[in-house]
Amino acid sequence: LILPLTSGYLARSDFLSLRLECCPLVAQTASFITPLGFVPAVPARSKHELSQPGALADVVHRAVGGVRLLDGTIAPADIDRELHRRLHVSSPWLLPDPIVPRRVAWVQGREDLQSIRRAFEAAAALGIKLVVLDEPGHWMQDDHGPGAHLREAFVEVDITPDRGLSGRIAAAVRAYPEVVDGIVTISDVRLAAVAWASRELGLPTESPEAYDIAADKGRTRMLEEEGRVAESGGGSGEKESFVLACAEDLEPLLAESRRGGGGGGSLLTFPRIVKPVVGWSSECVARVEDEAGLVAAVRRAADRHATSPTPSTAVVVEPYVAGPEVDANLVLLDGEVVFCDISDDFPSEADRAGAGLWANFEETQNVMPSALPSAEQVGIREGLLRSLTAQGFRTGVFHCEARVRNSRCTYRADKQDGIVDLVPQTQIAAAAATDTHPDNESVDVYLHEVNARPPGYLETVAVLLAYGVDYYALRLLTAIGAHHEAPRIRALSQPFRDGPQFHLSLLMVHQALAGVMRTRDPVGEFLDAHPDVKANVVDFNSRKKGGDVLVGPGASDLCWVGFLSVVSRDSRADLLR
């Protein structure tokens, strides 16, 4: 039984089950409190006092929650060690001041409950009432549906991501009969509209202009280039990247480059990356090795969103950076990083030499925590904070993708078992009798993109399980405003003491062929057939199931078949095996 030694108000009512999830000693947890409730302290008592009639019953009655251990052989010292690690006092679950009930409008309810359940449950545990704004007929509209108990109301709104969306959101919130304290979405194409609607209504929000920049990979890249030139003291001002308004703008640039190169050459260097300025899931992102490939990739990228509700034919062309790629998630509070996790984004098909023009950059697996040197991880955190600040952000949850251009590590396959992982460059240099780069060289972080929202559902859940930090809860609180919710944001940004509870690989299963899926539940059936793997899987799902159409790996609209979150408490090497 968990007893409060101080009085206060719980930051979230399900903190016990949240922090003890995947604990190897625990079979079950239960919370005995309600959201926003006051918790009175239990005075410390001696064994003699507890032996008096009724004393123990009084203490038990005051428990905030209970933990049922896996079996009766677990030593008290072991469970105490786990509880101190997960419920340590530096994470103030009990706050001194009352927590005000809040109401948040959530724009776009996602495709099903399984892909958003934890976010909506977080709102309930925080004492936040949700009003879901989405299209008529959405599954959250049904008052008897699977998610009805997790929202206060459903409001029909045309959420097409066009130029009128912010006005429609503002009108719906204004017409709601109760006070709404904030608006939130995790939909990339609706982030800016929600910010503009919040500004119109006087609700807490980051700068809508910042969201506009983050949503545009071209503006993001040009802002990074300006920062790089400024840091170098001005220099020539020459930029590595360029943005095309349409595919037709490429030929004049190529002609100019050929003239500048002289002798039939070109000033353009290869390989390069081509991608639409608007996009997600690495759709239409290509690595090109020559001008012919550049022309074809630019045309494909320009066509991707040409007929979207908000049409765009713009394309960004940038150098291919061969260093290790990372996913980095940052929680900012008034410009301060209060939590950051970094995971290693393993090489994609397009990273392979000679992969070809149509190889894609779909993620293969993300492994947390990162194996990069601590200095490089500090450089990533500081570099991305500068990038977010330059875009205009000060508070929120941000998912960033970047590469370390001059990393001391690179991916190599082990000569004995063939398993790929990061290895120090010094090992390779020693084997080749070559010098490594100087010790005083600073970390060069090359930002690919900023997603001004939590990572995708799979990674958000993975971070929650590994570190004990819930990005959805933090995003809801930042939507209410740092002025109101700073104590809870700080409290809920505290990870487990001594780091993540295991090494975790978020392993993606991609479409290898086009056709119709015959297997009813591909990932589930795979795990049933391989119980040795299943024992180490903490989360999984099949997105494509029996009867679903697969478009294959070369399609513009990429969609994974399924995923598995595989863990090891022993080591990263054991995890990868």
From first to last of its 577 residues, what are the pLDDT tens digits of the chain? 998 888 999 999 999 999 999 999 999 999 999 999 899 998 888 888 888 898 888 888 889 999 999 988 899 899 999 999 999 866 678 999 999 999 999 999 998 998 999 999 999 999 999 999 999 999 999 999 999 999 999 999 999 999 999 999 999 999 999 999 999 999 999 999 999 999 999 999 999 999 999 999 999 999 999 988 777 666 554 578 999 999 999 999 898 887 776 555 556 889 999 999 987 767 889 999 999 999 999 999 999 888 888 889 999 999 999 999 999 999 999 999 999 999 999 999 888 887 877 787 888 899 999 999 999 999 999 999 999 999 999 999 999 999 999 999 999 999 999 999 999 987 665 555 444 444 546 889 999 999 999 999 999 999 999 999 999 999 999 999 999 999 999 999 999 999 999 999 999 998 888 999 999 999 999 999 999 999 999 999 999 999 999 988 777 676 889 999 999 999 999 999 9
Of 393, 394, 378, 449, which is closest to residue 224 (Cα–Cα)? Answer: 449
Q: What is the DSSP letter of 320?
A: -
What pLDDT was estimated at residue 305? Answer: 86
Of 402, 368, 379, which is closest to residue 496 (Cα–Cα)? Answer: 368
- In angstroms, the Cα distances linking 340 to 273, 404, 455, 459, 488 are 27, 17, 12, 13, 17
- Tracing tokens 């999984």 back to the chain, one arrives at 540
CA distance 560 to 286: 18
CB neighbour burial string for 107-131, b if at least 16 within 10 angstroms, e if fewer: bbbbeeeeebbbbbbbbbbbbbbbb
- Residue pair 398/188 in contact (Cβ under 8 Å)? The answer is no
Q: Which helix (H) or strand (E) holds 133?
A: strand 128-134
Q: pTM above 0.85? A: yes
CA distance 244 to 237: 19
- Residue pair 268/291 in contact (Cβ under 8 Å)? The answer is yes
What pLDDT was estimated at residue 435? Answer: 43
- Residue pair 304/339 in contact (Cβ under 8 Å)? The answer is no
What pLDDT was estimated at residue 267? Answer: 67
- Tracing tokens 């980051």 back to the chain, one arrives at 206
